[in-house]
Amino acid sequence: MSESHRCTIIPPYLLRALAHSDDPEVAALAAQTLQSDAEMRAQRQGRHNVLVPARPAESLPAPGAPNAPQRVVSDARGTETLPGTTVRREGEPATGDPAADEAYDGLGATWDLFSSAYGRNSLDGHGMPMLATVHFGRNYDNAFWDGTQMVFGDGDGRYFRRFTLSLDVIGHELAHGVTELTAGLTYRGQSGALNESISDVFGSLVRQRALGQDAHGADWLIGADLFTEAVQGEALRSLKAPGTAYDDPALGKDPQPAHMDDYVRTTDDNGGVHINSGIPNHAFYLAATAIGGNAWEQAGRIWYAALTGPGISADCDFAIFAGLTVDAARSEFGEVSPEADAVESAWRQVGVLDGAGAPGRGDGAPDRVVVPSGEAPSEEGPVEEGPVPGGEAPVPEPEEPVDGTEVFVRRTGGFAGLTRERSVRLEELPRDDAQCWLSLLGGPQLSALAEGPSHPDAFCYEVRCSLPHVHVSLPEPGLPGEIRDLLERTLTFPQ
């Protein structure tokens, strides 16, 4: 196997073994690594108050003053190493690199919205530096929040332009930071869809405020600048009309529902977080346009109060959040007020609350079921939200590809929420890739990687194989580069 294709990883079971080593230094290092992994997973379970910066402390600016952001933009220069080389700090002149300067300006516009409209000093409320990395990877079709900073790819140039082009995308990713530091919404199922919706809402408000658009003058689109001319679509998502943003032969049709009658249960994309977010997205649009005026000053205040108030929890679902927004509207504008009526009516119109303001279909069985290609829905009902099961016990690694062995790879999630999949026989692949797959399928590595960390807007890869039997879901953030490269090569292998 060539050096570039070699699959290597130190899975948790090996670290646990090393933690009991007779060598005190080895044992301490292994225990520290296991503890760090546990803390990272725990951070994504609920509220926490401090993010650990991705950069060395000495390279970070001091927390910002109450009326000033502290921005740092770095350049990964086509690598996947974070944070990259610092290219622009707060107050420095433009670099001439559109991606770096767009990121810098977007950081400022987002800081300004939260500061001016909601009195929040940066993402944590205490002036934490706002960090971004541009030119991540090569032709990388994504932008994401990694728990400490935002990261932008340049797009493939065929379907997607660079992800810094859309101001609402920048605001979206930074809003993930606000959510992580307040409600800590679990990134799966309805709480994950709320996490995505809140980022879409505040991303849209960043853009509306920068452009001076009121609720009726805004287009309510997310990612309207991302598609190339080759794509039949106007944006990635529409808060005004979920399900209508694009309809393209290559990318498919916008799958977002606007009502709980069409809620989707799926094992893809952490339980459909980029799909079902269309329901709370549409509720915000309905509330904002019914209230009128500048959405960031009226409906935005209500949503911000619900997000940051004491009643929200990490596992908050649509119905609970709807109730929190109604309560926030009454608190902000009065028990009996047009604003409170507009918010309650919006949630009724999308089927989350019934006519009496109680939970509607949010707790009922959805009508629409989507499962990964090649699977059938359970005869007992819709597919349950939750992680795809891990692989079974390891089987001996075969020395040569078994005739007919087929591996299925499916990639879901990402900011765009799009799906790619490919099924291929191992004997069709280059020998190095086939041998790498045999090593992975015949060992414990894939099951160990399924327990790895994730983050908002990250990709998730599903891997299935019948012989040996494997079915795992692999969060991209925990994947070694060589394994992710193998997955991508398999996805793009010629038909």
Q: Is 274 assigned a catalytic role?
A: yes
Rounded Cα distance between 412 and 448, Å, is: 20
Q: Is 397 assigned a catalytic role?
A: no
List all residues 6 or more positions away from 198 whose beta carbon is below 8 Å from its beta carbon.
Answer: 175, 179, 185, 280, 303, 307
Tokens (6 digits) for 210: 């920068």
Tokens (6 digits) for 344: 């309650």
DSSP state at residue 160: B
CA-atom Rg of the chain in angstroms:
23
Give the E-state strand segments of 90-204 in sequence order.
Answer: 130-134, 143-145, 150-152
Of the candidates 124, 114, 180, the one whose C-alpha atom is nearest the C-alpha of residue 147 is 180
List all residues 6 or more positions away from 76 whose beta carbon is below 8 Å from its beta carbon.
Answer: 82, 83, 84, 133, 134, 135, 136, 137, 151
Contact 257, 243 (CB under 8 A): yes
C-alpha distances in Å from residue 97, one per residue of 60, 107, 135, 298: 22, 16, 10, 36
Contact 62, 34 (CB under 8 A): no
Contact 416, 433 (CB under 8 A): no
Greatest alpha-carbon span in the chain: 73
Tokens (6 digits) for 112: 């300004």
Of the candidates 172, 182, 196, the one whose C-alpha atom is nearest the C-alpha of residue 306 is 182
Contact 282, 239 (CB under 8 A): yes
CA quadruple 240, 243, 244, 248: dihedral sign: positive
- Given the residues 135, 172, 173, 344, select the one marked as catalytic: 173
Rounded Cα distance between 26 and 18, Å, is: 7
Of the candidates 424, 420, 414, 478, the one whose C-alpha atom is nearest the C-alpha of residue 446 is 478
376, 379, 384, 386 alpha-carbon torsion, rounded to 10° = -50
- Give the pairing of strands 221-222 and 143-145: unpaired
Find where tokens 């810098």 sit. Answer: 104
Instruction: Return the ∠ at Cα 31 (arms to 16 and 58), rounded to 5°.
Output: 140
- Given the residues 135, 274, 282, 455, select the one marked as catalytic: 274
Tokens (6 digits) for 346: 């919006």
List the catalytic residues: 173, 274
